[in-house]
Structure 1
Amino acid sequence: MKIEIWSDVMCPFCYIGKKNFEQALENLAFKDEVKIEWKSFQLDPTLDQSKTKTTAEYFREKKGFPEEQAKQMTNQVIQMGKASGIDFNFEKALITNTFTAHKLLHLAKKHHKASEMEEELFKAHFLDGKNVGDVETLVSLAVSLGIDADEAKNSLESDQFDYEINQDILEARNKGITGVPFFILNGKYGVSGAQPSEVFKNALTQTYEETVVPFKDQSQNNLSCDADGCSI
């Protein structure tokens, strides 16, 4: 069963959604039959890749929120994060353009480590206050997951994964996805937002029972032909 997840590194709800989704999946008997594909999405592609802002600066400049209002909003997210096992540190978080970070995600896909890289990117941004637009920072994350430093640096400084990132973004637009996280379950159901684990568990179970189990039942009849002949 395939699960596609559109996400952006600087989205706190994407991190919460990831944790809740993983908690739900861990408790399902068919978890080993689930394949996760992380997709790129940019909440603010207009940000300068060479600069960073604090969370307060970003809210003030982009949304027009005074610092006190921004702090109230981040405090609410901090409480939500704690319930999912995340200790957000918005005081340290550096807002920047995430396109280069998405390049690292696609490189990690190539090495079958996308979920691990997504976690490292969230930690770097929300917990450690690292600049996820900085090539050297991203290379160090790649190395921490066993990816060669030179390969990572070359990928991040080239247009190697630009097409894939833009295709993910275009696909989201074509599907009417305007916010993240967004989960598509085996091509049938969509789940939007950082839903509680129980919601993910129910949605995953329903999708599995409707899109996987019927085909399993049919295959048990074994009335089929292949290159070696027909089975009756």
Structure 2
Amino acid sequence: MKIEIWSDVMCPFCYIGKNNFEQALEKLPFKDQIEVEWKSFQLDPTLDPSETKNTLTYFKEKKGFPEAQASQMISQVKQMGKGAGIDFNFETALITNTFPAHKLLHLSKKYNKSSEMEEALFEAHFVEGKNVGDIETLTALAGKLGIDNAEARLVLMSDEFDQDVNHDISEAKSNGISGVPFFVLNGKYAVSGAQPVEVFENALQQTYKETVSPFKDLYNGENSCDADGCSI
């Protein structure tokens, strides 16, 4: 059974969704029969890859959120993160163009380390305050996962995997996916948003037994991000 997950590195609900999904997966007796594929999605491809902004500034400038509203939303997401075992550090998180990070994710697939790379990127961005658009930072992350630094650097400085990233983004658009995280279960069912562990567990069990066509969003809830911002 194959699970495809569209996400963006700078989406906090994608990090929460990943942790909840993986906790659910560990509870299933058929977990070894599940293949997980991470797909690229960019919430804001207009960002300058040579620049960074802090989270509060980005919400105020790009999304037009008043400071009080942005601060309240950040506080709520931090609380949700704690429930998923994540200690979000929005004060140091650097908002930037995530295209290079997605290229590194595709490289990691070559080594069957995409889930590990996704986790490393989330942690670097949301916990450690690292610039996930920076070549040196991304090369170091690759090295920690046993991926050759020279190969990672070459990928990041070339157009290799550009087509793969753009294909994922186009595929999402053609399937009507406008917000992340978005989980497609065995090509039939879909679950959107950072759902609780039990929701993922039930969806996976149901999908394992049967599938339907076309996509049916089993849990069309909040707690996701799209081009217009994040909702709770």
Q: Which residue of 2 aligns with 1:131?
A: 131
Paired with 1:190 and 1:174, the residues of 2 have a C-alpha distance of 15
Offset at residue 67 of structure 1 (A): 2.0
**1:60 paired residue number:** 60
Offset of 1:66 from its aligned partner?
Answer: 2.4
The answer on 1:28 being equivalent to 2:7 is: no
**Structure 1 residue 63 displacement after superposition:** 1.2
Give, as a single letter, the amino acid of the residue that structure 2 aligns with 1:198.
E
Q: For 2:65 and 2:24, locate their aligned partners in 1 and report how far apart those are by CA, in whole Å.
A: 35
Structure 1 position 152 matched with structure 2 position 148: no
Q: What letter is aligned with 1:51?
A: E
Where 2:191 maps in the other structure, the secondary structure is strand
Determine which structure has the larger helix proportion and give its number: 1
SS in 2 for 1:184: strand
Measure, in 2, the Cα distance between the counterparts of 1:47 and 1:34.
Answer: 35
Structure 2 unpaired stretches of 5+: 212-232
Instruction: Give the Cα–Cα distance (whole angstroms) in 2 for the partners of residues 164 and 205 of structure 1.
Output: 30
Q: Structure 1 residue runs of 4+, over 6 Å off?
A: none
Corresponding residue SS for 2:73: helix
Cα RMSD after superposing both structures? 0.6
TM-score between the two structures when normalised by the length of structure 1: 0.90
Distance in 2 separating the partners of 1:187 and 1:110: 22
Q: Could you say which residue in structure 2 is the equivalent of 1:116?
A: 116
The Cα shift of 1:70 comes to 1.0
Match of 2:201 in 1: 201
In structure 1, the residue matched to 2:175 is 175
Structure 1 unmatched ranges of 5 or more: 212-232
Give me the identity figure in percent: 73
Matched, 1:81 2:84: no
Distance in 2, matches of 1:208 and 1:68, equals 44
CA distance in 1, matches of 2:66, 2:193: 26
What amino acid does structure 2 have at the position aligned with 1:80? M
Q: Deviations over 1:78-106 (max 9, x none)?
A: 00000000000000000000000000000
1:12-62 deviations in Å (ceiling 9; x for gaps): 000000000000000000000000000000000000000000001101101
Separation of aligned partners in 2, 1:131 and 1:125: 7
| Residue aligning to 1:7 | 7
| Offset of residue 209 of structure 1 | 1.0
Deviations 1:194-214 (A, max 9, x none): 000101000000000115xxx
- Alpha-carbon separation, structure 2, partners of 1:108 and 1:152: 9
Which amino acid counterpart does residue 62 of structure 1 have in structure 2?
A: K
Q: TM-score, structure 2 length as denominator? A: 0.90
State the partner residue of 2:37. 37
Q: Which residue of 2 aligns with 1:16?
A: 16
In 1, Cα distance between equivalents of 2:185 and 2:69: 36
Could you say what secondary structure the match of 1:183 adopts? strand
Q: Which has the larger radius of gyration?
A: 1
Partners of 1:169 and 1:103 in 2: how far apart?
A: 12
| Cα distance in 1, alignment partners of residues 9 and 22 from structure 2 | 17
Task: Write the letter of the residue equivalent to 2:13.
Answer: F
Q: Give the count of matched residue pairs.
A: 211
Cα distance in 2 between the residues matched to 1:65 and 1:205: 39
- Output one character per residue of 1:155-214: Cα deviation in whole Å (capped at 9) or x when no partner: 011000000000000000000000000000001101000000101000000000115xxx
